Amino acid sequence: MRRTTRRKWIQGMAAGFGYGLCRTSRAQNARYRLGTFAFDVSPPLGHSLCGGWIKPAQAYDDRLEAIGFVLLGAGEPIVVCAVDWTGICNSAHVAWRKAMADAVGTAPERVAVQSVHQHNAPFACLDAQQIVAQYPELPSIVDVEFFEQCLQRARNAVQEAVQTARPLTHLAVGQAVVEKVASNRRIVDGQGKLVFWRGSSSKDPRAAEYPEGLIDPQLRTVAFFSGDEKLVACHYYATHPMSYYGDGRVSSDFVGLARKRRQQEEPHCRHVYFTGCAGNVAAGKYNDGSPPLRQQLADRVYDAMRRSEDDLRLQPIDKIHWMQEPVLPPPRSVFNAEQLREQIAQPDQPIVARNRPSYTLAWLERVQRHVPIVLSALHVNSVSLLHLPAECFVEYQLFAHQAAPDRFVAVAAYGDGGPWYIPTEEAYPQGGYEVSVAFCDPPVDRMLRTAIRHLLAVS
């Protein structure tokens, strides 16, 4: 073992102390500041889950949270938030962004709110709720009083985040392959025909036998630092986050359990999880829906989180830039508002056949009011955090990486859920579940890709 002389030890300590002073000084004089927040969004017992067509909340396996950060110093404040809900749609999404924006004195267009998309969780659409409220026999979409309580918690949380914001000086990125979680739900043959479909879980042996198909296997992490102290770590992965659901037990499911495990390990760093473009990606190849599989899937996602952070290399933050892009894709021509209203009004129809059309009708009415969806991107140095709407197919995420090959792009989908599924243009003639619940016609593909290119066109 090589000996260290007293002089070398003193020189090393002095150099380290000087380096620490330099880092501390840079942090104190940092141009940017960042504050984090987290607050509970677990529904009360009896509240509808997943839009009201599965068993309502009867117990809690674990709590649901809204988590994110407020970034200061890059113009008006920027807010980025992930919510452990199935979705937030239309005027509910606008209201959530506006509540946070007003609380910190910024524009709603500078707030990104992305759902994680667990199913034993609320699916908030105030417009659809207004529609079904005309029929007392229908379960509510979302309890409006509870929703308003969540907005007040959001206001309080982001205001506190501003007050406790720390100097923001560095960022770091990492990625790791997630093993045996994601698989494409749609099995298409060589002639472009959909021959098999697998959901989030399956006991059909064919679900496991078919290959994974088109996925993005990487879990990406973007971490922000004050000096050498990690303030927040944002994790991005594209898969439907359900192991099993419909039993009335509220849960953040396997991705939430993985995140919470990282949070326990690093209580002074806020860990946030975002679901990427997972409209046609789920765990069906590796998940039979049995309770033990939830923990196995959580362990695999957690392992990738850890590995993605193993080699984080800090880089000083030189510039931060926010971009937004409004879009309003037209609804599918096959939808008829009067027919939807008639379907919702039919008392002999199952709940799902009445509640789901209320979301469709809400989208039609939104388009008539010309209220656009806001896509956005936060650019920090050569890193881009891209915020997309609804249930985009994984092809859009892969397209984003191709559109900006010189940047580290982390994609969060499930923003404004108004359009529901957003398939690719070539998926429409194939049909299948996702196409059947897509509220926009095929031109949405070109519209979304154009918006992605604009958002990632950063010098």
Per-residue pLDDT tens digits of the chain, which is 459 residues long: 333 333 333 233 333 333 333 444 445 557 999 999 999 999 999 999 999 999 999 999 999 999 999 999 999 999 999 999 999 999 999 999 999 999 999 999 999 999 999 999 999 999 999 999 999 999 999 999 999 999 999 999 999 999 999 999 999 999 999 999 999 999 999 999 999 999 999 999 999 999 999 999 999 999 999 999 999 999 999 999 999 999 999 999 999 999 999 999 999 999 999 999 999 999 999 999 999 999 999 999 999 999 999 989 999 999 999 999 999 999 999 999 999 999 999 999 999 999 999 999 999 999 999 999 999 999 999 999 999 999 999 999 999 999 999 999 999 999 999 999 999 999 999 999 999 999 999 999 999 999 999 999 987
Structural contact between residues 71 and 171, judged by C-beta atoms closer than 8 angstroms: no
Answer yes or no: is 3 within a domain: no
Asked, for residue 349, whether it belongs to a domain, the answer is yes
CA pair distance 84, 344, nearest whole angstrom = 28
Is 343 part of any domain?
yes
pTM reported for the whole predicted model: 0.93
In sign, the C-alpha dihedral spanning 162, 164, 168, 172 is negative
CA–CA dist 137, 139 (Å, integer): 7
How many structural domains does the chain have?
A: 1
pLDDT at res. 28: 52
- Check residue 426 and report its DSSP letter: G
Indicate the helix (H) or strand (E) that contains 402.
helix 394-403
Tell me what pLDDT residue 30 has. 76
Tokens of 378: 């936060």
Strands (E) across 6-128 are located at: 32-40, 59-60, 65-72, 78-83, 87-89, 111-115, 123-125
Does residue 24 lie within any of the structural domains? Answer: no
> Percent helix, strand and coil across the chain, each rounded to 5?
35, 25, 35
Looking at the domain assignment, is residue 259 inside a domain?
A: yes
As given in the structure block, the two tokens for residue 4 are 């260290």
Q: Tell me if 404 sits within 8 A of 384, measured CB to CB.
A: yes
**CA angle at residue 43 from 160 to 148, to 5 degrees?**
55
Report whether 114 contacts 412 (CB < 8 A): yes
Q: Are 215 and 285 in contact (CB under 8 A)?
A: no
Tell me if residue 127 falls in helix, strand or coil: helix
Specify if 8 maps to a domain: no
- Yes or no: say if 416 and 374 are a contact pair by the CB < 8 Å rule: yes
Q: Which of 318, 130, 268, 291 is nearest to 201 (CA)?
A: 291
177: in domain = yes
Q: How far is CA 44 from the centre of its chain?
A: 23
The pLDDT of residue 6 is 32
Report d(CA 447, CA 327) in Å as an integer: 8
Alpha carbon dihedral 257, 186, 120, 301, in 10-degree steps, equals 0
By residue range, what is the domain housing residue 201? 32-455
Q: Is residue 23 part of a domain?
A: no
